[in-house]
Amino acid sequence: MRDALGQGTILGYCTNVHAGATWDQTKANLQQHALAVKQRVSPAEPMGIGLWLSAQTARELVQENRIEELRDFLGEHGLLAYTFNGFPYGDFHQPVVKHRVYEPDWSDPARVTYTKDLIAILARLLPDDQREGSISTLPVGWKTIGGDAQRLQAAARNLRNVAEHLQALEQNGGPLIHVDLEPEPGCFLERAQDVVRFFTEHLAPRSRQVDVTRHLRVCHDVCHTAVMFEDQTDTLRRYKSAHIRIGKVQIASAIRVDFDSLNRRDRWAASKQLGDFQEARYLHQTVVQQQVGGPTVFYEDLPSALSALADAQAPVGEWRVHFHVPIYVDQIGLVGTTQEYVGQCLELLRNGEVGHWEVETYAWEVLPDKMKQDTLADGIAEELMWLLQSVAAGQRTEGT
């Protein structure tokens, strides 16, 4: 939806929630789910979608000259693909994804090829009155890449190569497209300070003929920031001070439990309820802060964090879990969410300096059954409507 979050903004939902590693599967999912969401949320006007295409699908569209087929399909059904999610490379809905979602990382030429395919597709999908597109991507790689100097140098070199490619595209009359690195818990870039350091030390100094920060930006995922206990005001200030732009915001909410606010019996009950969110497909990084403002302990996955409770007297501190739950939910029994971060982000970025927004709750299939809606489209539509109502309520409050 255009101008939903301010003048010049576009809002949609990310289609990585849908399975499908081929173009035919992707098209079928859009027909089944995206059109149903549109009918509920934006029946009379075009609806934005953050399109996810697997590397196989993107290659298929480029090599078989089927981009116009995709463009015609989207135009016919009133779907506006203004942004791509270029993070998951392969089948994002295979039985076990876990660490595979970070492969290939940015040191691998395959990541460059995939991203350039997405650029070629997006450049031809953008309508004439929308000359800016964005592609979110993984934050260089899983944290282990930082210990390999050669791979890290290769990753920076590949990203600079993509920036040069994007500059040439724009200079030759194409649209402005930026690739937006998405910090995530456990990755090489997981906090704002990591992003600033990477840009300062590895990207900008070695780029003499291209404005790196025009074509390489940040995808600010609200869920990821919350899981890392980052203050959003400080995060955005760090980016601005380093002249790093936010190209896209992903609206998402994480699981949160403040054990210190619960009595002993409820602490154990809450930890048992957390166990309901253990599942085999995705990685659910967990960060524990035992004292407000104190140091944090990082666990790669929720089961590891829960197993650490075996010798504990009772869970303590505040836990935050990288599990994208519906943004309209603020409490699930004794388990809470980081929904308040969504409101904070809307308040901080309401001036319109960020144009691209998308709701990204990809974990609907692996949610506990009691949290699921009758259909996937029902859940996605409720998220979008909740967000639009929240924005409208905030605007009414400002007007009083």
CB contact at 8 A, 345 and 251: yes
pLDDT bin (cut points 50, 70, 90) of residue 280 is very high
Residue 357, burial from CB neighbour count under 10 angstroms (0-12, 13-18, 19+): buried
pLDDT of residue 398: 59
Q: Tell me the C-alpha to C-alpha distance, in Å, between residue 305 and each of 288, 290, 302, 320.
A: 9, 13, 5, 11
- Tokens 């404005």 correspond to 211
CB 196 within 8 A of CB 150: no
pLDDT given for residue 128 in this prediction: 85
Q: How far apart are CA 185 and CA 117, in angstroms?
A: 27
Residues 28-45 have a mean pLDDT of 96
Q: What is the rounded average pLDDT of the residues 21-35?
A: 94
Q: In whole angstroms, what is the distance from residue 337 CA to residue 97 CA? A: 24
User: Are β-strands 47-51 and 286-289 bridged in parallel, bridged antiparallel, or unpaired?
Assistant: unpaired
- The region of weakest confidence among 191-200, 354-363, 390-399 is 390-399
Report which secondary-structure segment, H or E, holds 59: helix 55-63
- 395 pLDDT band, cuts 50/70/90, is low
Contact 185, 228 (CB under 8 A): yes
**pLDDT for the residue numbered 350:** 79
Q: Are 166 and 179 in contact (CB under 8 A)?
A: yes
The pLDDT score that the predictor gives to residue 44 is: 94
pLDDT of 62 reads 97
As a whole-number percent, the residues of the chain with pLDDT over 70 amount to 96
42-53 burial, b at 16+ Cβ within 10 Å, e below that, comes to beeebbbbbbbb
Question: What was the pLDDT predicted at 1?
Answer: 83
Domains of the chain: residue spans and CATH: 10-252+338-399 (3.20.20.150)
The band of 67, judged by pLDDT with boundaries at 50, 70 and 90, is: very high
